[in-house]
Structure 1
Amino acid sequence: MPPKEPTPLSHSFGYQSVDEQEREQRIRRVFSAVAARYDLMNDLMSFGVHRLWKRRFVRMAAPQAGQRIVDLAGGTGDVAALMAGPDRQVTVVDPSAEMMEVGRSRGHQHVDWLVGSAEKLPLDDASVDTLTISFGIRNATRIDLALREIQRVLKPGGRFLCLEFSTPAWWLRPFYNLFSFTVIPRLGAWIAASPEAYVYLVESIRRFPDQPGFARLIADAGFEQVHWHNLSFGIACIHAATKPAQSPRTRDA
């Protein structure tokens, strides 16, 4: 199997390269194509285990009364619905209106919906208590910029949690790679009826950084207390971090 490659990161700000624009358009086409069957696709590919991962994820997020919580790339709102309550504000932010429309049709209570991308969040500085993202950060065209945007909108002391596919234990990796490169493409083609969808899915998982690599990206974006918790022997992983309660300049004063 081909080795896992690191996610290429651009260091230019303020504009997208042609490749980034093409990737963003490709991602949006993929999610438009699979919106109606996205959750079914996840159930089949993970044998339903993704629902257990997400419940663990929400327990770690520990939503509280009075908080403003954003579920970035929240899609159909399954994670947001688990965090929602009448005593807190939970907002799904996602670039795919089609995905969110599926979520709206399910009648999730106490969930708001907002179109926006991870690289340019439509949120004020220091306005969010907790920001979560599940199986979405790898779809950002610029992971470094997305993490800096997340850091920007969190309040000092605010928490960031990310659930994402990662690198499984060495003994599981050959079986996982075989499943990823054979079973997942066939399921994607069958469910989504879109070759682009399943090819992109496998590519995006393969290129995503491993656990320590992604932790470094989070720390580089200005977070502290960065740590991770493996799920299913590392097939998925929850990374968690905190925005510093004070800026470095304030602490050094």
Structure 2
Amino acid sequence: MNDIVSFGYRDVDASEKAGMVRGVFSNVASSYDLMNDAMSGGAHRLWKDQFVRRVKPQPGEAILDMAGGTGDIAFRMHARGANVTVSDINPEMLAVGMERAQKKGLTGLAWSEQNAEALTFADRSFDAYTIAFGIRNVTHIQQALEEAHRVLKFGGRFFCLEFSATLWPGFSDIYDAYSHKVVPKLGKLLAKDEDSYRYLIESIRRFPDMPKFEGMIRKAGFVSTKVEPILGGLVAIHSGWKA
């Protein structure tokens, strides 16, 4: 029996999804940051600032920023003195991040092409694991969470920033209309790619809701899990600890 997973609103064979997602991000890599600003009105910068405040990066500690692509989270943690390894399955996204780091004059960041489901790092390598707006694109989310748990040291912390479903009455309907009708058109206008942004919106709708995803984090072995909704759950910060 084939392993069927979601790719936006489509169901596809699991063996095909990673390549399809890679194609999406290869297409949008050069315009990814521009589109983030356009889609969120710049709010993604505030969400990422809040996320990093929750992570509390410490000088000298080792942090893995998975799906870190263009470096937005990594640069913030690097500024606090952490030793950050930026990993992504997509080399085009990493190339954009490395170019941005070079332009900013940032040194000391490590860059590594990695599959979140099969990391090449040794057990207990990192003090913290972060992933922002990336885990919903993973083929087998539970496997990626278990890998996050494996590479963390005892006492290590897991933090995930991801879209969810807002629970605010009325706002949910407005956001649904905006995301399905406006965002793909923005993608066509600014990134010359309507289909990739249609997928990205659809992938949010197929992602587990906040309670279910928290349960998956616990199943991976994390304790003291917590969910912090932003804008009623439009975005959420998930966290847990490796005991």
TM-score, with structure 2 as normaliser: 0.90
Stretches of structure 1 lacking an aligned partner (at least 5 in a row): 1-6, 10-17, 245-253
Q: Distance in 2 between matches of 1:87 and 1:236?
A: 27
Structure 1 residue 87 displacement after superposition: 4.5
Structure 1 residue 154 displacement after superposition: 0.4
Q: Distance in 1 between matches of 2:228 and 2:81?
A: 29
Structure 1 residue 231 displacement after superposition: 1.1
Moved more, 70-79 or 184-193: 184-193
Structure 1 outlier segments of 4+, above 4 Å: none
Partner of residue 46 from structure 2, selected from 45, 52, 76 = 52
Q: Distance in 1 between matches of 2:205 and 2:94?
A: 26
Are 2:162 and 1:168 equivalent residues in the alignment?
Answer: no
Moved more, 78-87 or 166-175: 78-87
Contact conserved, 2:126 with 2:151, CA < 8 A, in 1?
Answer: yes
Are 2:149 and 1:151 equivalent residues in the alignment?
Answer: yes
What residue in structure 2 maps to residue 135 of structure 1?
A: 133
Match of 1:237, SS state, is: strand
| RMSD (CA atoms) | 1.6
What residue in structure 2 maps to residue 182 of structure 1?
A: 181
Partner of residue 43 from structure 1, selected from 37, 48, 54 = 37
What residue in structure 2 maps to residue 64 of structure 1?
A: 58
Moved more, 184-193 or 22-31: 184-193
What residue in structure 2 maps to residue 116 of structure 1?
A: 114
Letter in 2 for 1:187: L
Letter in 1 for 2:155: G
Structure 1 residue 86 displacement after superposition: 8.2
Q: Distance in 1 between matches of 2:173 and 2:82?
A: 43
User: For each residue in 1:50-79, what CA deviation from the matched residue of structure 2 results, as whole angstroms up to 9, or x when unmatched?
Assistant: 000000000000001221001000011011
Q: Distance in 1 between matches of 2:34 and 2:82?
A: 29
Structure 1 residue 162 displacement after superposition: 0.2
Stretches of structure 2 lacking an aligned partner (at least 5 in a row): 7-11
Q: Distance in 1 between matches of 2:229 and 2:135?
A: 17
Partner of residue 28 from structure 1, selected from 3, 18, 22 = 22
Distance 1:226 1:187, change over 3 A: same
TM-score, with structure 1 as normaliser: 0.87
Q: Distance in 2 between matches of 1:44 and 1:153?
A: 35
What residue in structure 2 maps to residue 194 of structure 1?
A: 193
Q: Distance in 2 between matches of 1:190 and 1:28?
A: 21
Distance 1:193 1:67, change over 3 A: same
User: For each residue in 1:99-146, what CA deviation from the matched residue of structure 2 results, as whole angstroms up to 9, or x when unmatched?
Assistant: 111111122333210000110112110111000000000010000100
Structure 1 residue 94 displacement after superposition: 0.3
What residue in structure 2 maps to residue 204 of structure 1?
A: 203
Count of aligned residue pairs for this structure pair: 230
Contact conserved, 1:85 with 1:110, CA < 8 A, in 2?
Answer: no
Structure 1 residue 85 displacement after superposition: 4.4
Moved more, 86-95 or 158-167: 86-95
Match of 1:70, SS state, is: strand
Match of 2:13, SS state, is: helix
User: For each residue in 1:189-245, what CA deviation from the matched residue of structure 2 results, as whole angstroms up to 9, or x when unmatched?
Assistant: 22222243122111111101111111001011111001111112211000010011x
Letter in 1 for 2:52: V
Task: Calculate percent identity across the aligned residue pairs.
Answer: 47
Moved more, 106-115 or 134-143: 106-115
Contact conserved, 2:57 with 2:81, CA < 8 A, in 1?
Answer: no
User: For each residue in 1:165-190, what CA deviation from the matched residue of structure 2 results, as whole angstroms up to 9, or x when unmatched?
Assistant: 01102412111111111111111222
